[in-house]
Chains A and B, each alone.
Chain A
Amino acid sequence: MHEYTERLAATAFSMEQDLQREFEARLIESSTLAFRVAYSVLRNSENAEDVAQEAFAKSYTNFRRLRDRDRFRAWLVRITWRMAINRLRSDRRRSLRETVPVETSITPTPVQSIIAQERAAQLWRAIDSLPDKLRLVVVLAGIEEHDIREVAALLRLPEGTVKSRLFLARQRLKELMQ
Chain B
Amino acid sequence: MTTDTSLDRELDHELDYEIETMLAVEPSPNFVSRVRARIADTPPGWIMGLNMGWTSLAAGSVVVAVVVAVAVSRPHEVVQPEALAPIARTSIQMDSPSDDLPVPPRVNSAKSPERHKPRVSKAAYREPQMLINPKEAAAIRHFLAHPQPELVELSLVKFEPQPLPEFTFTPLPTFDPTTVLQGDFK
**Which A residues lie at the B interface, using CB under 8 A?**
16, 19, 23-24, 27-28, 31-32, 35-36, 39-40, 45, 48-49, 52-54, 56-57, 60-65, 100-104, 119-120, 123-124, 127, 138-139, 141-143, 145-146, 170, 173-174, 177
The answer to whether A142 touches B42 (Cβ under 8 A) is no
The size class of the interface chain B forms with chain A is 20 to 34
Q: Please give me the residue from chain B that is nearest to A145 by CB atom.
A: B20
What are 17 of the A-B contact pairs (CB < 8 Å)?
A19-B44, A31-B27, A35-B27, A40-B23, A45-B25, A56-B38, A57-B35, A57-B39, A61-B43, A62-B45, A63-B44, A63-B45, A123-B15, A127-B19, A138-B19, A142-B16, A170-B12
Q: Is the interface of B mostly helix, strand, loop or mixed?
A: helix
Interface centre among B20, B22, B23, B43, by most A CB within 10 Å?
Answer: B22
Among A23, A101, A138, A145, the residue within 8 A (CB) of B25 is: A101
The answer to whether A142 touches B31 (Cβ under 8 A) is no
The answer to whether A32 touches B27 (Cβ under 8 A) is yes
Contacts of A27 in B (CB 8 A): 32, 35-36, 39
The answer to whether B23 touches A56 (Cβ under 8 A) is no
Complex: how many Å from CA A61 to CA B42?
A: 7
The answer to whether A139 touches B39 (Cβ under 8 A) is no
Contacts of A120 in B (CB 8 A): 18, 22
- Min CB–CB distance B84 → chain A (angstroms): 63
Complex: how many Å from CA A60 to CA B36?
A: 10
Q: Which of B1-45 contact A (CB under 8 A)?
A: 11-12, 15-16, 18-28, 31-32, 34-36, 38-39, 42-45
The answer to whether A173 touches B32 (Cβ under 8 A) is no
Contacts of A65 in B (CB 8 A): 45
Complex: how many Å from CA A104 to CA B22?
A: 9
- With A35-B27, A143-B23 given, can you name 20 additional A-B contacts, CB distance below 8 Å? A19-B44, A27-B39, A31-B31, A31-B35, A35-B26, A39-B25, A48-B27, A52-B27, A53-B31, A56-B38, A57-B35, A61-B48, A64-B44, A102-B22, A119-B18, A120-B18, A141-B16, A142-B20, A146-B16, A177-B15
Counting CB contacts under 8 A, is B46 at the interface?
A: yes
Complex: how many Å from CA A60 to CA B47?
A: 12
Among A49, A53, A139, A177, the residue within 8 A (CB) of B23 is: A139
Complex: how many Å from CA A54 to CA B34?
A: 11
Contacts of A32 in B (CB 8 A): 26-27
Complex: how many Å from CA A177 to CA B16?
A: 13
The answer to whether B44 touches A60 (Cβ under 8 A) is yes
The answer to whether B19 touches A123 (Cβ under 8 A) is yes
Contacts of A24 in B (CB 8 A): 36
